[in-house]
Structure 1
Amino acid sequence: MNVPRPALLLGLAGLIPFLWGAMTVLLPDLALWTAQTVGGRFAGPYVMLFYGAIILSFMSGVLWGFATRLEGAQAATGYALSVIPALWAFFMTGGGPTGAGMSLMAGFAGLLGLDWLFWRYDAAPPWWMALRVPMTAVVLACLGIGVFL
């Protein structure tokens, strides 16, 4: 299934902070330059953690929109499930960069399950999983670099 070009391009652009964060973990000189130029919050795991919490919250809104396409008990369940990523980001990302990174990894893996559920019930576009699976893989890889390296 072909992903519409605007959705693909904007989705790929949304990966930039994760990729940048991973690169600054792998390249200490780039991390130093980033910290000195735009601030430490934009280097290493910190940019990935901050941005990851924002994206989980954003994705709650996307799922909420999908829930509007459901009816009855499915809609009620969809609305309830749609708030989980934002609540997860809020409650689970404290306690330091390693714990927060691992929590975000779990959050994004869980989000992929919710993506699949909404897609399975035809609330998400037919191309949704073709976009979300590779994007989630990149996010998890980047967060993994921040957590494990």
Structure 2
Amino acid sequence: MIRIPTAPLALGLAGLIPFVWGALTVLNPDLQNWGVTTLGPRFVGPYIQLFYGSVILSFMSGVLWGFATKTSGARAAVGYALSVIPALWAFFMTGGGPVSAGTNLMFGFAGLLLLDYAFFQWGLTPPWWMRLRLILTAVVVTCLAVGVVY
């Protein structure tokens, strides 16, 4: 098994904090009240998850774009075209309220995982990429589901 380097793993896990925090504040009203009082209403529940999730999908478009630069010709053109999908998804699909936006973000992250796999199969990612992406995507989708269901 290929080990995920410490820095990407640590930064990836740290990037989960807003998703986990959002889920915890959905499940715990006292924590949500503390968060609203201390941080503001935008930084609790599904609201932090939706805003941050849109940012992360857009960020991941940039990551995929970077992977596309490692190839040329038709494969590069396809890679560039595919790389913009997560950002466009976030832009067009996160309106309409927290349930539909959260659901659409869940689909966006699932779709991103498929794109990650394509870039991995094309040999454009580090060898540990899919291990990291599977862990992160599982946590993100689970946390978003908490915001959608509760």
Q: Normalising TM by the smaller chain, what interval?
A: over 0.9
Q: Match of 2:48, SS?
A: helix
Q: Distance in 2 between matches of 1:141 and 1:106?
A: 12
Provide Cα deviations, 1:25-75, integer angstroms capped at 9, x if missing partner. 010110011011110010000000000000000000000000001111000
Q: What residue in structure 1 maps to residue 134 of structure 2?
A: 133
| 1:79 aligned partner | 80
1: CA distance between counterparts of 2:117 and 2:29? 37
Match of 2:61 in 1: 60
Q: Quote the residue 1:112 is aligned against.
A: 113
1:20 and 2:2 matched: no
Could you say what the CA RMSD is over the residues aligned between the two structures, in angstroms?
0.4
2-side partners of 1:70 and 1:80: how far apart? 13
Aligned equivalents of 1:63 and 1:28: distance in 2? 38
**Does the residue aligned with 1:114 lie in a helix, a strand or coil?**
helix
Aligned to 1:144: 145
Provide TM-score, normalisation by structure 1.
0.99
Supply the distance in 2 between the matched residues of 1:126 and 1:70 (Cα, whole angstroms): 16
What is the aligned partner in structure 2 of residue 32 from structure 1? Answer: 33
State the SS of the aligned residue for 1:111.
Answer: helix
5+ residue gaps in structure 2? Answer: none
Cα distance in 1 between the residues matched to 2:132 and 2:146: 22
Q: Which runs of 4+ in 1 moved over 6 A?
A: none
Normalized against structure 2, the TM-score is what? 0.99
Number of corresponding residues:
149
Percent identity over the alignment is: 66
Deviation of the 1:134 alpha carbon? 1.0
Structure 1 residues 63-121: Cα deviation after superposition (integer angstroms, max 9, x where no partner): 00000011110000000000000000000000000000000000000000000000000
Return the alpha-carbon distance in structure 2 between the equivalents of residues 48 and 89 of structure 1: 12
Q: What residue identity is the alignment partner of 2:22?
A: G
> Which runs of 5 or more residues in structure 1 are unaligned?
none
